[in-house]
Amino acid sequence: MSILVSVVCTTYNHEKYISDAIESFLMQQTNFDFEILIGEDCSTDNTRQIVEEYVRKNPNKIKIITSNTNVGPEENENRLLEKAQGKYLALCEGDDYWTDSKKLQKQVDYLEKNPECSLVFHATEFVNVSKESIGTIARIDKESRIVKMDEICLKATPSFIPTGSRLYRKHLTDNLPGWYRKTSIGDFPSALIIANYGYFFYMDEVMSAYRTGVEGSWTNRTLVGKEAIRNDIEINKECIQILNDFNDYSNYQFKRELEKAKKVREIKILLLERKIKVLKHSKIYKDYYLKLSLKEKIILNLNYYFPKFYQTLSNIIKHQKNVSPNKMGVKN
């Protein structure tokens, strides 16, 4: 039987977590063959030994792809994609894991029946390092539905389409453009490229877990600490460049959607730079501000004039409600 799905897992210094990820792959119940490719990037802890033990026990199912020197997260993923044999790719980082044994089967069944769909994703629960729920679920809707390009341009972030929830057609990313290789946030441009060839489908089922607070993770390194605001500004600037590059790549067929998405990113930068007066009075952004509801205007002004109070209030709301992270302002 030929391999239908390649499970792609990148890992580095995940000795506390990698077993959860691998066990969640092995528990998948499918009527097709799938392979598990693990990119181990020269961890300084016992991650490699743990992965190698799983390979010894499952030699026909799991393959470890590594090297004698650390290659970094982008190259680590690229070498896995090059080795993947499946028609479809399912992604999961080494500190996350799946929670539904039928996840792969459900996603593949949909893609097999709907050739015009390019990617399927699903709801994801956010947990702490001990696998305890933090009360947040990445859920874009209360029902399964089609997601089109305008929404993807605006919201294709880890809190909207978590990496561990994605399953897509491999050939759509076989020949990535040069500008993609230059980006440091691969999830966003890859989503745009895949969406160029078909719609996305969201399954309103929690089938994976996203682990927060992991030491050394991209989120902790980038969006936590003294440099968080500066880093967030740079990320949004890079996303604007990605939108420009994708506009050329897609022959301008999504120009309207992309221009709207760029304006949203520009507004985020103004807010992060605390330039609310520009937002209120600039000809470019004034219409956006005037169309906001009274509640949205209050939130913006609280964040600007009373940032400490706003942050305290936001933290209280986050702990009291079980909502999608993108609704609570979680950044990509």
38 pairs with which residues across the strands? 9, 64
To the nearest whole number, what is the mean pLDDT of the chain? 88
Which of 95, 127, 154 terminates a domain? The answer is 95
C-alpha span between 80 and 89 (Å, rounded): 10
C-alpha span between 182 and 92 (Å, rounded): 22
Looking at the structure of the chain, the number of domains it has is 2
- Is position 149 within any domain? no
Spatial contact of 116 and 199, defined as CB atoms under 8 Å apart: yes
* Residue 37's pLDDT band (cuts 50, 70, 90): very high
DSSP 204-267: EEEEEEEE-S-TT-HHHHHHSSTTHHHHHHHHHHHHHHHHHHHHHHTTTTTHHHHHHHHHHHHH
pLDDT tens for 211-232 read 988 876 655 555 556 688 888 8
Q: Where in the sequence is the domain holding 229, given as residue range(s)?
A: 218-316
Residue closest to 157 by CA, chosen among 235, 104, 253, 227: 235
Spatial contact of 11 and 37, defined as CB atoms under 8 Å apart: no
Spatial contact of 328 and 299, defined as CB atoms under 8 Å apart: no
pLDDT tens for 41-97 read 999 999 999 999 999 999 999 999 999 999 998 899 999 999 999 999 999 999 999
- Is position 38 within any domain? yes
Beta-carbon count within 10 A of 73 CB: 16
* Residue 321's pLDDT band (cuts 50, 70, 90): very low
DSSP letter at 56 equals H
- Is position 72 within any domain? yes
- Is position 167 within any domain? no
Q: Locate tokens 């020269």: which residue?
A: 42
C-alpha span between 249 and 153 (Å, rounded): 14
Which of 44, 74, 95 terminates a domain? The answer is 95
Which of 34, 60, 95 terminates a domain? The answer is 95
Kind and range of the H or E element at 125?
A: strand 117-127
List all residues 6 or more positions away from 276 whose beta carbon is below 8 Å from its beta carbon: 270, 300, 301, 304
- Is position 161 within any domain? no
Percent of the chain topping pLDDT 90: 63
Percent of the chain topping pLDDT 70: 89
Count, residues in the chain: 332
CATH code, 29:
3.90.550.10
- Is position 184 within any domain? no
- Is position 133 within any domain? no
C-alpha span between 304 and 226 (Å, rounded): 18
C-alpha span between 241 and 246 (Å, rounded): 9
- Is position 144 within any domain? no
